[in-house]
């Protein structure tokens, strides 16, 4: 007797791109603050990627509204316990951080770099938030399956991290940045994140038990097991682990992670509304 | 806040005439819809953006006190929960509580994000494609502010829908349950009358002749927001794991090359 909200493809894309934006930014912030000078490419690619993505995210959210012209109504109101309200604010605030970090990433001045690192430590928190809150939003509803696992946010965060890192790695590969040491480090970081994501996904499914059926069986089952678990986690992890020095395998791994991240959002959002 | 108003729907008195459903539609100018075949006299199957009062016709095997099939009737409506999931979810403040305790959607503020639709434990709130906003029973907000009861309650010929002060209606309803139990309706019960019960009580509460599940009502509806802290903490845990993983990957051990 429950009613579905009718959140469809714009929201699937928003969840996917928001995860990448958040993941790319916090990875960049970590590389910038704790890595070496040579990891600067990772930081810059991460900042520069998150900026346009978060802009697209804002547009996707606006076009999905029933009355897009009233999107500002969310900015006239603030509820600290409400994922939808916080999320709307964070897209704006995080967008400002991605802009400032992107601009500052072009400076070669050491004092500007120090400022950029400090700013990114704060912006990183919003990046984590953007990657995770969409899961918490779904799990704080009355919808079957969405509301039944307490790990939806944790899963979306891990997926945001792995897809954000994969997107940065892929851009580095395509632009020739893969020769830097940063490429190897982001591969290692993505490997850790994929392992964490697999762990969280296993706990997520265990927690749900039979309530996971909308994604694990029926129409969406093959996509979930083949596209996410097999093709989007296990296969890219194996390529990442055993690809060795063959960089193109690393790039293939990154593409698979990105496709898997999209499939995760797609099956979760669409399965119960189909 | 003024004294809380309520609607009490006593399903034992409902004759399925749908005067409430029509009165609601007329007064609130809800417009035409394509009818839906449901296999019973019920139309529509669910609440819609143009159906705020809905008479349910339910044929439930074994729900009759003597074990036979029961033909249950229920005029269903927005419950105006004391702890309203839709109101808490609304990011624009369009959904608000009136001074009478009812829950209303300000149509000039709603921007159609639809989180309220996903947050209603009863499937009441509906999205209207034409206006792009969320719609539901207003408790006839215009009428109650002008000394009139809701249109549905006014139209009901059997007093199955009663309107009044909540405390008085609860007292009346409690007596009515006892009467019905004495008549052999062993499953007669109030749904949402207890303000210490689920969702802090419903300001549109019901008397049912069978278990809530027989009416497709949730037995123990919950606030959708009840897990936001746990879910957030687990997300933070995941963030720490992923962050530490990235930190280990990027960390410079020797600091020699900086």
Q: Which of B47, B115, B257 sits opposite A84 (nearest CB)?
A: B115
Position B254 scores a pLDDT of: 47
- Flag whether pLDDT at A177 surpasses 90: no
- A7 neighbors A273 (Cβ within 8 angstroms): yes
Largest CA distance in chain A: 61
Closest CA to A229 of A263, A203, A206: A263
Closest CA to B40 of B27, B23, B58: B58
- Rg from Cα positions in chain B: 23
* A154:B238 CB<8 A: yes
* A65:B237 CB<8 A: no
* A141:B122 CB<8 A: no
> What chain A residue is nearest to B122 in terms of C-alpha separation?
A2
Per-residue pLDDT of chain B (258 residues; tens, 9 = 90+): 579 999 999 999 999 999 999 999 999 999 999 999 999 999 999 999 999 999 999 999 999 999 999 999 999 999 999 999 999 999 999 999 999 999 999 999 999 999 999 999 999 999 999 999 999 999 999 999 999 999 999 999 999 999 999 999 999 999 999 999 999 999 999 999 999 999 999 999 999 999 999 999 999 999 999 999 999 999 999 999 999 999 999 997 545 444
Position B257 scores a pLDDT of: 44
Percent of chain A with pLDDT over 90: 91
- Flag whether pLDDT at A159 surpasses 70: yes
- Flag whether pLDDT at A24 surpasses 70: yes
* A157:B242 CB<8 A: yes
Distance (Å, rounded) from C-alpha A253 to C-alpha A234? 10
Within an 8 Å CB–CB cutoff, is residue A30 touching chain B?
yes
* B251:A77 CB<8 A: no
Within an 8 Å CB–CB cutoff, is residue A60 touching chain B?
no
**CB-CB neighbours of A17 under 10 Å:** 25
Position A244 scores a pLDDT of: 73
Position A246 scores a pLDDT of: 84
Position B152 scores a pLDDT of: 98
Q: Give the containing element (helix H, strand E) for B127.
A: strand B126-128
């Amino acid at each position: 007797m429950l009613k579905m909200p009718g959140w469809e493809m714009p929201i699937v894309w928003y969840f996917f791109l928001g995860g990448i934006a958040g993941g790319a930014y916090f990875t960049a912030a970590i590389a910038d603050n704790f890595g070496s000078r040579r990891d600067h490419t990772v930081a810059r690619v991460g900042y520069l990627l998150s900026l346009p993505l978060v802009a697209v995210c804002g547009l996707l959210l606006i076009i999905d509204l029933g009355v897009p012209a009233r999107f500002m109504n969310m900015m006239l109101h603030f509820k600290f316990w409400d994922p939808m309200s916080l999320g709307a604010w964070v897209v704006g605030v995080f967008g400002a951080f991605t802009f400032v970090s992107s601009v500052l990433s072009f400076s070669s001045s050491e004092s500007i770099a120090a400022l950029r690192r400090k700013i990114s430590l704060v912006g990183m928190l919003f990046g984590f938030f953007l990657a995770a809150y969409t899961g918490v939003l779904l799990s704080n509803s009355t919808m079957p399956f969405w509301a039944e696992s307490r790990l939806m946010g944790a899963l979306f965060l891990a997926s945001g991290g792995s897809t954000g890192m994969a997107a940065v790695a892929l851009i580095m590969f395509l632009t020739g940045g893969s020769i830097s040491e940063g490429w190897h480090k982001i591969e290692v970081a993505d490997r850790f994140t994929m392992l964490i994501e697999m762990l969280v996904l296993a706990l997520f499914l265990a927690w749900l038990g039979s309530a996971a059926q909308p994604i694990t069986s029926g129409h969406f089952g093959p996509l979930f097991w083949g596209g996410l678990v097999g093709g989007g986690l296990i296969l890219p992890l194996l390529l990442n682990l055993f690809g060795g020095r063959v960089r193109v395998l690393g790039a293939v791994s990154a593409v698979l992670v990105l496709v898997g991240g999209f499939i995760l959002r797609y099956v979760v959002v669409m399965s119960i509304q189909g | 806040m003024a004294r809380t108003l309520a609607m009490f729907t006593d399903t034992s008195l409902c004759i399925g005439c749908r005067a409430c459903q029509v009165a609601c539609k007329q007064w609130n100018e809800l417009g035409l819809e394509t009818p839906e075949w449901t296999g019973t006299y019920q139309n529509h199957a669910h609440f819609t953006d143009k159906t705020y009062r809905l008479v349910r016709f339910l044929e439930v095997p074994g729900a009759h006190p003597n074990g036979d099939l029961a033909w249950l009737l229920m005029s269903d409506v927005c419950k105006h929960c004391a702890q309203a999931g839709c109101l808490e979810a609304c990011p624009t403040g369009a959904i608000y509580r009136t001074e009478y305790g009812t829950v209303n959607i300000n149509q000039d503020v709603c921007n159609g994000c639809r989180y309220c639709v996903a947050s209603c434990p009863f499937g009441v709130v509906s999205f209207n494609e034409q206006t792009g906003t969320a719609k539901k029973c207003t408790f006839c907000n215009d009428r109650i502010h002008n000394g009139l009861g809701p249109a549905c309650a006014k139209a009901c010929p059997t007093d199955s829908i009663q309107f009044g002060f909540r405390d008085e209606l609860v007292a009346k309803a409690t007596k009515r349950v006892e009467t019905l139990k004495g008549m052999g309706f062993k499953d007669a019960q109030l749904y949402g009358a207890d303000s210490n019960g689920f969702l802090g009580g419903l300001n549109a509460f019901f008397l049912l002749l069978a278990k809530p599940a027989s009416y497709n009502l949730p037995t123990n509806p919950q606030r959708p927001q009840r897990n936001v802290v746990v879910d957030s903490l687990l997300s933070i845990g995941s963030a720490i794991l992923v962050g530490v993983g990235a930190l280990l990957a990027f960390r410079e051990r020797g600091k020699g090359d900086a």
